[in-house]
Every structure is written in structure tokens, then in C-alpha cells.
């Protein structure tokens, strides 16, 4: 695209003029607000289901929607889907938003190369491919050939590549595929030289990876027992198990290596060390970050020996040098440290601290080229340091800005490693790091059609939450944005499961910035930005603190004139969908629009479906009175009220979401529509052949985001 003289590239100026009819901050008045349009919602029967928890009666009138395949539920879903589709399609400018999103997404993207044997592997997307393609080359600087192209496996792009594990010699690849957004994976083995698949298949796998024996005769993976026919998207997943698959043998003969039988909700994983001497097995109860760690010697069988028998803290295996294991842990170090554990004497009293805890949060560590690459978070952005295995500081990796660095993978004898860097206005660029000299060099950097990163800036601010805690937030906008309280703003948050929200480029965010929007991300408690204490402050009976943090973020943006109530939208997905749903019920007066993706909306029954019971480690259990009381008090579904002026709300889910069961969104939407049938629009967008989000084809992401932005702009009275 040719960039014309003036403030905006030509197509951007056209987009702004046609969609918005002038500046977002003022100009002609908009067409009548969506609040003025009456909507006839599909009928949803209210049942008489009542459950009792600790003697408290709790009504669940839409329990019947949990049978997602019943004729009644399907009829309601189809009627809601048509209503929402017709409504969104009628919003002026929606198609032009989709067109610009497509233009912005049409840029090359690469992952950081990884080496196995004599070959390098990385993914590449030429721009508008629904799925990225896996490539291999003898050298990252030389031409590569496609090894796996998921785009050829389905017409609609809904078969996704979920990961690969390579044999030590780089001869074989175990790779996983999923269909229609499901978390369930099927793994196959490909001969890398010929590109042909072996007959082996591994099914019923989920979140597995693949770690090969040193001789390439087989690999370890994790999975569940097969679900009953027709129940794989709903039924509880129990007894996650580590298996060994031997090449050329049927899956029925795979060896069960490790399974916790004392409880159904332990998750297990196994990793063979680079030298092939050890199998390191970890186990954690649900999503609890604390875990055990055991070791076996594959050459002599898989008898496990406990190194860390009790899950009192997080113990993340980094790598080994001989019989010394390097482990990242928050044991006696809430912001994490690296310890060396000798297998001959693994007792805690013999641990040696290699990298001590610091004021920054140690977010991840790799052992590559006889160096420990320590990736820290300093107020939620990356700082990278290099250490020798004895703890000697070797220097820092200089990063381009206030962003996120990731990667740094490799083997103990590698001479170079690659990493990715990104921030809110910079697409992912890939760099090489010479481990001998410490010098970095740019390997790949994309170019976007008409988007100039230099036109925008990210500011990190700190605001005060309800209890006086200082919380960071990133605010990204066009340079020179007037703080007049009139900027359309999207506030995003997550706040759970020790997950940190870090700066990352998105073509979707770029499109929002182009049309004059402000994009804010609050680093809420419940995440991992400041280590264990930050996470635990937003868990279980303390979950309300997360919502208080988010409300305070919105209040800060309004008080500091970034925006106003009518032009402030909140958005979140999964646990973030719970976040915006709960906050909407508590403070409907604070927001102009709510976008809830695949949210956990029924806090009393999440454990009944797929992997939900594992979330009790973060949310709590209804079996505990205090935890039940806390969850019941904020559960979005159970706190919907009549005679409340709710903001325009768009609820999104996928019919193949087997992580957060779609009935969460169905029930919440039905309850909201019943409570506020004559108010602002409350719509549910149900994507077909789509799941929780991972592996969603580009075409579906563009359509979804165009609908979201059209809905938000219309809610704000700014669509043209």
C-alpha cells in the first residue's frame, strides 16, 4: 500500500471518515444509540431447578442449556445466532472494519528457530494464511522447506498445529493437530527427510508435548482415557496420565508411566533431559502452580525417584549438567530463584542457590550454550540476564523497548539461540543471540501495510486500587491524543492463574488505534506479574480483589480524562470473561460496553465440565463454605438482577469450546436478556467449529473482531 502525505495513510483516512464520520472525539452527532433500538429476544424457558449448598437454596433456571445438543438448546442457539448476526451485519462500517483488519493482518510472521540434530525448525505465515506453516532448514540463514502445512488439512482452516517434539538427531517429529478449536489432540510421527508420516497415531491427548527417548525409539506424552462417544466436549477429564509410546506399536500397548490415583485432578508431564540420562516427571493438582518433581533413568526402566515429594511450591525444571538439576522455584523466594539440586543428595538443605531472588520477578529460565538465560518481569515488561551455571553474571540482553522477550531455547552445547521481541506497537521481531559474545542480531522483522509504529506510544501508569495497592497499567494511543474525556477506550484484563499480561502486538489492536481508539491493559492481582504474593492476593476467597483492581482501572481512565463512562468498553476472555461479567454486575454504571469472550459465568458448576475441576486450585470449591460464599457473591450468572440499566453487552463463545463449556455463556446470556429485555442490547455470538481460541483460523479471528469493534463503536454512538 502506498502511504500518502499527511497524518494518515490514505486507506486509514478513508476508514476513519466512512466509519466514524469525523473525529472520534467530536463532530456530528451519531445515529440513534443502540439503546434506542428494541430487540425481540428468542424465548428461553425458565426451569425450576434449585440446588442447595450448605443449606442455601440457589436457583438455576437455565440448567437445561447444559444439554447443548438437545433440540430445545439447539433451537435457542440458532435463533440467538441469527439475531446477533443480523444485528451486527446491519451496523454501518462493519465491513470496512473487517477489510482494514484483513489488510493489517496481511504481514509475514515467524517464530524463533529451534535446533534439533543438524536441522532448524520454525513457523512462518505469509500474511493471510489461516494457520502458520512449519518449516525446516539446515541453517536459519538458508532457504527452508515446508514440513507441515495445516492449511491443506481442512477447507475452512479449522485444523490447527498444536506443537511438535523432535527426536534428538532431528530425524523424526511427533506433532499434534486439533480440529474445530478443540483442546483434544491427535499426534502423528513424521519422517523429516521424506515429509511422510509413519503409521503411528496417539489419540485422547491434551496439553501433552512430546519428549523423545535419546535413541528415537519412542516418546513420552500425557493424555486422558477415552471419553464416551459424543461426550468428549463436555464430560469431566479425569486422571491425566504420562505414557510412553514406542514407534511401530499400537497406542493400546503404550506404557503407563505415571498416574496419581489418589485424586482425579492431578496433571502430569514428563521431559527427557538433553543428554538422555533422565526422565523428569512433574505433577500438580489442577491449576495449582505448586508441583512435585520425580526422576527416572529411561535406560533402565521408568521407576521414579522423588526429588521433591510434596508440592509446597513451584519447581520448574530448567535443565541438567550431569547429575545436577537446575530448577526455578518460588520456594523461600516469592519472586523466584534458580537452585541447583544434586541427585545424589536432593534434600533441601543441600540445594545451592545459583541465581538469587531479586526485586524483579523471574518469569522463565532456559539452559542453553552452558548459560542460564533468565527472563524477568520488571513492572510487567521484560528484562533478560545471562548467568554461568555457577551463578556468575555474564551480562544482559538489550531489548528494543518496553516490551516482551521470549524464546531463548536450545541445547547445552548450542552456540546461538533465538528469541522474539514484541510490544503493543511493534510486531514480533526475531533476533539471534551469540552466546559467546553476547551480541544480538536481527533475523526477521515484519512490515505492516500502512501502519507506522512511530505514530503511537505506550505509557505505563500506576493507579491505586480500593485497598490502597499500587497497580500497573499500560495505555497505548496515538501520540498527541487529547485527554479530553472523549476517546473511545477498550480496557482489557485477566487477573488469574498466575498468568501475566505482557506487552504484545496485535493487528486487531493496531486497527483500534488507527481509528482513534485507546487500548489499556491492567495488570491485575491474581496474575503473576509480581510473583506468588500478587497471584495469591487474587485467589479463592480473595477473588473480589481482582474485580476491585479492574474497577479502579476504569475509574482511573475516566478521572484522568482518557475517556468517559459512555466511551469506555471492557473486554476479557476465559477467566477474563468472568472478570468482565462479574464487574458488569457490580458496576454497570461505570462502563459503556461489555465484551465477554468464552467466560466462566457459572461459578457454582464450572467443575462439572471437561477440565473445570482443576480450576478449584485458583477459584475454590463449593464444598468449602467460605469459598462457596465468595464465589456465589460474584458469580456473573447468579448475580444478574432485574431493573438494572446494563450497558450494551456482547457475549462470545464457540460451539466446540471444551475448556470453558459453552453453556456458561448460554445461561448467562439468557439470564441477562430475561432481566433486561427492553434495555440496551444483550447479544450472544456463537461461533461454529470454534473452541476456546487456540488455533482459531485467521478468517474467523477477523470476522469476530470486526463484529466486536462494530458493536463497541455502535454502543458508543460512533459508528458511521
What are the pLDDT digits (tens) for 51-92? 999 999 999 999 999 999 899 999 999 999 999 999 999 999
Where does the pLDDT of residue 659 fall: very low under 50, low under 70, confident under 90, or very high at 90 and above?
low
Q: Which of 242, 272, 302 is the last residue of a domain?
A: 272
Report the distance separating Cα 393 and Cα 594, nearest Å: 47
Q: Residue 413 above 70 pLDDT? A: yes
- CATH number for the domain spanning 628: value is 3.40.50.1820
* 20 has pLDDT over 60: no
C-alpha cell read off for 52: 442447595
Among 110-124, 156-170, 482-496, 542-556, name the one with the lowest average pLDDT: 156-170
What is the chain's Cα-based Rg? 25
285 within some domain = no
Same-domain pairing of 96 and 231: no
Range scoring the smallest mean pLDDT among 36-40, 162-166, 421-425: 36-40
State the Cα–Cα distance between residues 10 and 468, nearest whole angstrom: 46
Mean pLDDT of 585-589: 98
Active site residue ranges: 574, 692
Nearest partner of 403 among 383, 418, 431, judged by Cα: 383
Asked if 156 and 173 sit in the same domain, the reply is yes
* pLDDT confidence band for 37 (50 / 70 / 90): low
Question: What band does 9 get if pLDDT is binned at 50, 70 and 90?
Answer: very low
The CATH number of the domain holding residue 262 is 2.130.10.120
Residues 99, 190, single domain; the answer is no
pTM: 0.92
Do residues 189 and 91 share a domain? no
The whole-number pLDDT of residue 6 equals 29
Residues 6+ apart with CB under 8 A from 51: 57, 58, 60, 604
**Domain extent at residue 598:** 80-103+452-715
Check whether residue 98 and residue 119 sit in a common domain: no
Query: How high is the pLDDT of residue 209?
Result: 79
How high does pLDDT run on average in the chain? 91
Q: Which helix (H) or strand (E) holds 422?
A: strand 416-423
Of 238, 272, 306, which residue constitutes the final position of a domain? 272
pLDDT band at 34 (very low <50, low <70, confident <90, very high): very low
Q: Are 95 and 196 contained in the same domain?
A: no
Q: What average pLDDT does this structure show over 299-326? A: 93
- Identify whether 133 is part of a domain: yes
pLDDT bracket for residue 695 (50, 70, 90): low
Is residue 407 pLDDT above 80, yes or no?
yes
Residue 86, domain member (yes or no): yes
* The pLDDT of residue 266 is above 90: yes
CA distances from 267 to 81, 318, 447 (A): 36, 19, 41
Is 169 in the same domain as 244? yes
Q: Are 24 and 516 in contact (CB under 8 A)?
A: yes
User: Which of 255, 272, 289 is a domain's end point?
Assistant: 272
Same domain for 185 and 90:
no
pLDDT value of residue 227: 60
SS3 label, residue 22: coil
- What is the distance between the terminal CA atoms of the chain, rounded to a whole angstrom? 24
Whether residue 69 is contained in a domain is answered as no
Average pLDDT of the residues in 266-280: 96
Q: How far is CA 558 from CA 306, 457, 512, 567, in A?
A: 53, 19, 19, 9
Q: Which residue has the higher pLDDT, 224 or 295?
A: 295
At residue 10, does pLDDT exceed 90?
no
Query: How many C-beta atoms lie closer than 10 Å to residue 63's C-beta?
Result: 17
Residue 283's pLDDT is: 96
What percent of the chain has a predicted confidence (pLDDT) above 90?
A: 82
| One domain, residues 165 and 254 | yes
For the segment 280-306, the average pLDDT, to the nearest whole number, is: 92
- Domain identity same for 146 and 212: yes
645-652 mean pLDDT: 97
| Residue 407, number of CB atoms within 10 A of its CB | 21
Q: Is 147 helix (H, G, I), strand (E, B) or coil?
A: strand
Pairing state of beta strands 305-308 and 291-296?
antiparallel
| Structural domain contains residue 390 | no
Q: How many domains does the chain have?
A: 2
Q: What is the mean pLDDT of residues 250-260?
A: 94
Do 245 and 97 lie in a common domain? no
Q: Is residue 159 over pLDDT 70?
A: yes
Between β-strands 211-212 and 218-223, what pairing exists: parallel, antiparallel or unpaired?
antiparallel
* Residue 624 domain-assigned (yes or no): yes
Structural domain contains residue 37: no
Tell which wins on pLDDT, 659 or 58.
58
pLDDT value of position 24: 37
Strands 518-522 vs 568-573: parallel, antiparallel or unpaired:
unpaired
For residue 425, is it within any domain?
Answer: no
Q: What's the confidence (pLDDT) of residue 700?
A: 86
The answer on 88 and 123 residing in a single domain is no
Q: Using H for helix, E for strand and C for coil, what is the string for 542-604?
A: HCHHHHHHHHHHHHHHHHCCCCCHHHEEEEEECHHHHHHHHHHHHCCCCCCEEEEECCCCCCC
Amino acid at each position: 500500500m502506498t502511504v500518502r502525505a499527511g497524518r494518515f495513510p490514505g486507506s486509514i483516512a478513508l476508514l476513519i471518515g466512512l466509519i466514524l464520520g469525523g473525529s472520534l472525539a467530536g463532530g456530528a452527532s451519531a445515529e440513534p444509540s443502540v439503546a434506542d433500538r428494541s430487540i425481540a429476544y428468542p424465548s428461553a424457558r425458565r426451569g425450576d431447578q434449585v440446588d442447595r449448598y450448605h443449606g442455601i437454596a440457589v436457583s438455576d433456571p437455565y440448567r437445561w442449556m447444559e444439554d447443548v445438543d438437545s433440540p430445545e438448546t439447539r433451537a435457542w442457539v440458532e435463533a440467538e445466532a441469527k439475531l446477533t448476526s443480523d444485528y451486527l451485519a446491519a451496523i454501518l462500517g462493519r465491513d470496512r472494519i473487517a477489510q482494514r483488519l484483513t489488510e493489517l493482518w496481511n504481514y509475514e510472521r515467524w517464530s524463533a528457530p529451534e535446533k534439533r540434530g543438524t536441522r532448524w525448525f520454525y513457523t512462518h505465515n505469509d500474511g493471510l494464511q489461516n494457520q502458520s506453516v512449519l518449516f525446516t532448514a539446515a541453517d536459519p540463514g538458508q532457504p527452508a522447506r515446508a514440513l507441515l502445512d495445516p492449511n491443506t488439512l481442512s477447507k475452512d482452516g479449522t485444523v490447527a498445529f498444536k506443537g511438535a517434539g523432535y527426536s534428538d538427531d532431528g530425524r523424526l517429529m511427533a506433532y499434534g493437530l486439533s480440529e474445530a478449536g478443540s483442546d483434544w489432540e491427535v499426534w502423528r510421527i513424521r519422517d523429516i527427510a521424506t515429509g511422510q508420516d509413519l503409521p503411528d497415531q496417539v489419540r485422547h491427548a491434551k496439553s501433552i508435548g512430546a519428549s523423545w527417548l535419546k535413541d528415537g525409539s519412542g516418546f513420552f506424552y500425557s493424555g486422558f482415557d477415552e471419553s464416551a462417544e459424543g461426550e468428549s466436549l463436555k464430560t469431566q477429564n479425569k486422571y491425566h496420565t504420562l505414557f510412553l509410546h514406542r514407534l511401530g506399536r499400537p497406542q493400546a500397548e503404550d506404557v503407563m508411566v505415571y498416574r496419581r490415583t489418589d485424586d482425579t485432578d492431578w496433571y502430569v508431564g514428563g521431559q527427557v533431559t538433553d543428554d538422555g540420562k533422565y526422565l523428569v516427571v512433574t505433577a500438580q493438582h489442577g491449576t495449582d502452580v505448586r508441583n512435585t518433581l520425580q526422576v527416572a533413568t529411561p535406560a533402565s526402566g521408568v521407576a521414579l525417584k522423588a526429588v521433591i515429594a510434596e508440592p509446597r511450591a513451584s519447581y520448574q525444571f530448567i535443565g541438567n549438567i550431569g547429575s545436577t538439576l537446575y530448577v526455578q522455584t518460588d520456594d523461600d523466594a516469592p519472586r523466584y530463584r534458580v537452585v541447583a539440586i544434586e541427585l545424589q543428595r536432593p534434600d533441601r538443605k543441600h540445594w545451592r542457590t545459583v541465581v538469587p531472588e531479586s526485586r524483579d520477578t523471574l518469569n522463565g529460565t532456559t539452559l542453553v550454550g552452558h548459560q542460564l538465560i533468565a527472563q524477568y518481569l520488571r513492572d510487567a515488561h521484560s528484562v533478560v540476564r545471562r548467568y554461568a551455571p555457577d551463578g556468575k553474571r555474564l551480562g544482559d540482553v538489550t531489548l528494543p523497548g518496553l516490551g516482551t522477550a521470549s524464546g531463548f531455547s536450545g541445547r547445552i552445547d548450542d552456540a546461538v539461540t533465538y528469541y522474539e521481541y514484541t510490544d503493543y506497537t511493534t510486531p514480533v521481531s526475531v533476533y539471534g543471540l551469540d552466546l559467546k559474545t553476547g551480541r544480538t542480531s536481527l533475523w526477521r522483522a515484519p512490515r505492516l501495510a500502512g501502519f507506522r509504529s512511530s505514530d503511537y506510544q505506550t505509557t505505563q501508569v500506576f493507579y491505586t486500587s480500593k485497598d490502597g495497592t499500587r497497580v500497573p497499567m499500560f495505555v497505548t494511543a496515538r501520540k498527541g491524543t487529547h485527554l479530553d474525556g472523549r476517546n473511545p477506550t477498550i480496557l482489557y484484563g485477566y487477573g488469574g492463574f498466575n498468568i501475566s499480561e505482557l506487552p504484545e502486538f496485535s493487528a486487531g489492536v493496531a486497527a483500534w488505534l488507527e481509528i482513534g481508539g485507546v487500548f489499556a491493559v491492567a495488570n491485575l492481582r491474581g496474575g503473576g506479574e509480581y510473583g506468588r504474593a500478587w497471584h495469591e492476593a487474587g485467589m479463592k476467597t480473595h477473588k473480589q480483589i481482582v474485580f476491585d483492581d479492574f474497577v479502579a482501572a476504569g475509574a482511573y481512565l475516566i478521572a484522568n480524562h482518557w475517556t468517559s463512562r459512555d466511551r469506555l468498553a471492557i473486554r476479557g476472555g476465559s477467566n477474563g470473561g468472568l472478570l468482565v461479567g462479574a464487574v458488569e454486575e457490580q458496576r454497570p454504571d461505570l462502563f459503556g460496553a461489555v465484551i465477554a469472550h468464552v467466560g466462566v459465568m457459572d461459578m457454582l458448576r464450572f467443575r462439572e465440565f471437561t477440565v473445570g475441576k482443576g480450576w478449584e486450585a485458583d477459584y475454590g470449591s463449593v464444598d468449602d463454605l467460605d469459598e462457596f460464599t465468595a464465589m456465589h457473591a460474584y458469580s456473573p450468572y447468579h448475580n444478574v438482577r432485574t431493573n438494572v440499566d446494563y450497558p450494551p453487552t456482547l457475549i462470545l463463545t464457540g460451539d466446540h469450546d471444551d475448556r470453558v463449556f459453552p453453556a456458561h455463556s448460554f445461561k448467562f446470556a439468557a439470564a441477562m436478556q430475561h432481566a433486561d429485555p427492553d434495555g440496551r442490547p444483550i447479544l450472544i455470538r456463537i461461533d461454529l467449529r470454534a473452541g476456546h481460541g487456540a488455533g482459531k483460523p485467521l478468517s474467523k479471528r477477523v470476522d469476530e473482531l470486526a463484529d466486536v469493534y462494530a458493536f463497541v463503536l455502535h454502543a458508543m454512538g460512533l459508528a458511521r
